[in-house]
């Protein structure tokens, strides 16, 4: 996932820090784009976290289970 607006903002912040600016401003259009990208990022992270949680639950369950098989044998 490429977050162009977030990347652009990070670059602007880096430039502002280097030039010792005290603030930066973004347009309402940039703010809308940033909000959209952050919402998409949050949704993707939520999905990933749910998948990881499910995998960890499966791993934990399988590590606590023991398969025992009995062979009756022959006399």
Q: What tens digit of pLDDT does each residue of 3-39 get?
A: 899 999 999 999 999 999 999 999 999 999 999 999 9
Tallying the residues shown for the chain, one arrives at 75
Question: What three-state secondary structure class fits 34?
Answer: helix
* pLDDT > 70? residue 75: no
- Model pLDDT for residues 31-71, shown as the tens digit of each residue: 999 999 999 999 999 999 999 999 999 888 877 777 777 77
> If we measure between CA atoms, which residue out of 59, 57, 63, 3 comes closest to residue 33?
3
Q: How many domains does the chain have?
A: 1
* 31 occurs within a structural domain: yes
Q: Is residue 33 in a domain? A: yes
The reply to whether 8 falls in a domain is no
Cα gap 2→37, rounded to integer Å: 9
What pTM value is reported for the model?
A: 0.65
Beta-strand (E) ranges in 1-75? Answer: none
Domain range holding 43?
26-63
């Amino acid at each position: 996932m490429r977050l162009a607006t977030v990347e652009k903002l990070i670059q602007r912040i880096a430039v502002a820090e280097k030039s010792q600016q005290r603030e930066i401003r973004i347009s309402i259009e940039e703010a809308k784009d940033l909000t959209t990208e952050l919402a998409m990022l949050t949704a993707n992270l939520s999905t990933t976290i749910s998948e990881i949680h499910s995998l960890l639950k499966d791993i934990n369950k399988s590590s606590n289970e023991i398969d025992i098989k009995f062979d009756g044998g022959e006399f």
